[in-house]
A = this chain, B = another copy of it.
Amino acid sequence: MADRLTELQEELREFVRERDWDRFHDPKNLAMLIVSEAGELVAEYRWIQGADADAYASDPEARARVEAEAADVGIALLLLFDRVGVDPVDAMRTKLQVNRSNYPSSLVRGTADRPPRGDATP
């Protein structure tokens, strides 16, 4: 039985196919889609103070916008994973393993009051 993400990916494929949008969806264009959607998500938070950022999403209207913007990023990302033929969960799990060895908790926890600069996951 297919899991929920696999089902969603199939729905996305159908959505694109019905509109004949495959021709726009080379990986370069999809990378641009991802970052422009991520920019819209950032726009939601740019004038919110960090201390208020959690509370912000408890307002129903703000929450709906954050949810929609985050979903846009996710959809664009799934389209890219699909286009390059990579399973998203496998790729994320692999990367998480890399992050685990790059940032061993014994080293990172406690000694640093913030994660090392420049790292991926934080």
Shortest Cβ distance from residue A22 to the other chain B in the assembled complex, whole angstroms: 10
B5 near A29: Cβ-Cβ < 8 Å: no
Contact A96-B12, Cβ < 8 Å, known A34-B73, A80-B70: yes
- Chain B residues with Cβ under 8 A from A71's Cβ? 88, 91-92, 94-95
B19, B50, B78: the one within 8 Å of A105 (CB): B19
- Chain B residues with Cβ under 8 A from A118's Cβ? 43
Interface positions of A from 44 to 70, Cβ below 8 Å from B = 44-51, 53-54, 56-57, 63, 66-68, 70
Interface positions of A from 70 to 111, Cβ below 8 Å from B = 70-81, 83-86, 88-89, 91-96, 98-100, 103, 105, 108-110
Interface size of A in residues (CB-CB distance below 8 Å): 85
- Chain B residues with Cβ under 8 A from A105's Cβ? 18-19
Closest to A12 in B: B96
Binding site for B on A (CB under 8 A): 3-5, 8, 11-12, 15, 18-21, 24-29, 31-51, 53-54, 56-57, 63, 66-68, 70-81, 83-86, 88-89, 91-96, 98-100, 103, 105, 108-110, 114-115, 117-118, 120-122
